């Protein structure tokens, strides 16, 4: 056997390395990465839905052997909403869950009509009035959530998924007016409405930052966009009406 390096040298080097290892100061142990220890989480939020989902409808009607028109401007403005969501971590930082958002708001509706004159063609009377209706949106969200603990106390989450909207809207179908001879003017007396409920599938995406002042209890703030387009049957026919919007809010965070 003709070794290239003498065996004694190898052994010497080996013992030297071992001795060196024993004498140098130890490296600091790597800090343990925060882990998602709790598997179930729950959020309860008061939120504010920003933006508006105003819509307008113009229809025609027959009165005094002539076509009249009815225009309704629905003002669906921003307002408070209530949001609850929860889920379970299914793998490392990935969770699945569900949420529900309820938004209810009055929808002041401007009613404007051109009512044909009983005696003359092309001399409509303008009738204007107000109707106070309401809009209720109930959205059920199925979500996939990424949970990223920044520390044991602070946790960031992003989420998204499909949303199932149920929208109830007061729709003005008709109106009453008063008139008297010579019928050159007419006065709005009341709007006749119905409540229409329609469903649609939309989506939602959002993010959340939570601070846990106890291991299982914390507070958080979040932002979410959830939206859908529902088809409403308006006096003029079927029409797309938007629901949802950007929501910001905060509330209680629980994890178990």
Partner 1 sequence: MKRAMAMAATGGALLVSLEVGSAQQASTLRFSATTANELRLWDGYVTSRARAGDLRVRQVVRDPSLPSRTIERLQQYSQGVPVWGAEVVRDLERGVPLSMFGELSAQPDVDPRPGLDADAVERLLLSREATGAVLLRLAELVILRLETGQHRLAYTGVVSAAHRVFRVFVDASSGAELLRYSSIHTQAAIGTGRGTIGDTKKMATVLQGGVYLADDQLRPPVLTTFDMRGNLPRAVQIVEQGAPLFLSDIAADTDNDWTDSAVVDAHAYIGWTYDYYFKRHGRRGLDNLDRPLVALVNGVTQQAAVTLPPELLDWALNAFWCDDCGPGGLGLMYFGSGIPSNYTFFGQNVNYLAGSLDIVAHELTHGVTSSSSNLIYMNESGALNEAFSDIMGTGAEYFFQPVGTGLGQADYLLGEDSFRTPGGGLNGIRSMVDPGAFGDPDHYSKRFIGTFDNGFVHSNSGIVNHAYYLAIEGGTNRTSGLAVQGVGSANREQIEKVFYRAFVFMLPASATFATARAATIQAARDLYPANGAVATAITQAWTAVGVN
* Contact residues: partner 1, CB under 8 A: 64-66, 117-121, 181-184
Dihedral Cα 29, 30, 34, 39, nearest 10 deg: -80
Helix (H), strand (E) at residue 212: strand 186-212
**Residue 183 Cβ, how far from partner 1 at the closest point, in Å?**
7
**Residue 244 Cβ, how far from partner 1 at the closest point, in Å?**
44
Q: Are strands 217-234 and 186-212 parallel, antiparallel or unpaired?
A: antiparallel
Nearer to partner 1, 183 or 225 (CB): 183
Nearer to partner 1, 22 or 122 (CB): 122
Q: Which of 180, 207, 196 is nearest to 231 (CA)?
A: 196
Nearer to partner 1, 64 or 134 (CB): 64
Q: Output the six-digit token pair for 125.
A: 């009377």
* Torsion angles phi and psi, residue 220, rounded to 5: -155, 165
Nearer to partner 1, 33 or 62 (CB): 62
Q: Output the six-digit token pair for 206.
A: 């959002």
Beta-bridge mates of residue 223: 207, 248
**Residue 192 Cβ, how far from partner 1 at the closest point, in Å?**
21
**Residue 124 Cβ, how far from partner 1 at the closest point, in Å?**
13
**Residue 112 Cβ, how far from partner 1 at the closest point, in Å?**
22
Q: Output the six-digit token pair for 43.
A: 């959020």
Nearer to partner 1, 121 or 256 (CB): 121
């Amino acid at each position: 056997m003709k070794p290239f390096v003498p065996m004694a040298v190898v052994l010497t080097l080996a013992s030297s390395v071992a001795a060196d290892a024993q004498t140098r100061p130890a490296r600091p142990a790597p800090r343990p990465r925060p882990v998602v220890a709790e598997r179930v989480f729950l959020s309860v939020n008061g939120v504010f839905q920003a933006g508006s989902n105003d819509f307008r409808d113009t229809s025609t009607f027959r009165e005094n052997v002539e076509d009249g028109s009815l225009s309704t401007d629905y003002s669906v403005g921003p307002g408070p909403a209530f949001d609850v969501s929860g889920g379970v971590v299914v793998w490392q930082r990935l969770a699945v869950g569900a949420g529900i958002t309820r938004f209810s708001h009055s929808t002041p509706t401007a009613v404007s009509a051109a009512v044909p004159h009983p005696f003359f063609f092309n001399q409509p009377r303008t009738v204007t009035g107000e109707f106070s209706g309401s809009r209720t949106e109930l959205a059920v969200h199925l979500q996939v959530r990424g949970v990223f603990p920044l520390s044991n106390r602070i946790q960031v989450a992003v989420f998204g998924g499909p949303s199932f909207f149920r929208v109830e809207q007061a729709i003005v179908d008709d109106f009453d007016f008063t008139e008297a001879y010579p019928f050159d003017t007419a006065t709005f007396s009341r709007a006749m409405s119905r409540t229409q409920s329609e469903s649609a599938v939309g989506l939602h995406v959002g993010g959340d930052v939570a601070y846990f002042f106890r291991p299982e209890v914390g507070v958080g703030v979040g932002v979410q966009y959830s939206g859908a387009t529902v088809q409403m049957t308006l006096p003029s026919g079927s029409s797309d009406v938007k629901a949802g919007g950007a929501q910001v809010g905060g509330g209680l965070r629980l994890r178990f």
